[in-house]
């Protein structure tokens, strides 16, 4: 599946926390219809109800499994930057291990820790 193929459907975009914007598509191939949402749950509800499709990071599939939602890879899209933050006076005990774990989870290489 490609972004061009997805553009023929209404696309749900979470404007508060989502990383997808209409600018992800070339100007001449943007989705004809956008369903703006305010939460991940609302975004997933539109998709599960077959009212829209969505574009998200691979980690969303692991962190938000949902009946009625099938996650599929999208070809030819730029990677989504992910940042980690912690209090300057309270760093994690093993920051390099934390970074490696998050990198694995967010790139779909492993399941999140339980």
What does residue 45 show for φ and ψ, rounded to 5 degrees? -65, -45
Domain regions of the chain by residue span: 3-63, 82-114
Of 37, 113, 108, residue with least CA distance to 79: 108
pLDDT tens sequence across 69-83: 999 989 888 777 778
Q: What is the mean pLDDT of residues 25-49?
A: 94
Q: What is the mean pLDDT of residues 18-47?
A: 92
pLDDT tens sequence across 37-47: 999 999 999 99
């Amino acid at each position: 599946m490609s972004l061009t193929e997805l553009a023929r459907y209404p696309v749900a975009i979470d404007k508060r926390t989502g990383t997808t914007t209409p600018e992800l598509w070339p100007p001449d191939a943007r989705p004809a219809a956008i369903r703006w949402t305010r939460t991940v749950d609302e975004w997933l509800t539109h998709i599960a109800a077959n009212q829209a499709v969505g574009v998200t990071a691979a980690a969303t599939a692991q962190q938000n499994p949902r009946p009625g939602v099938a996650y599929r890879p999208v070809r030819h899209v730029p990677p989504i930057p992910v940042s980690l933050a912690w209090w300057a006076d309270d760093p994690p005990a093993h920051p390099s291990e934390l970074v490696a774990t998050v990198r694995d989870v967010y790139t779909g290489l492993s399941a999140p820790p339980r």
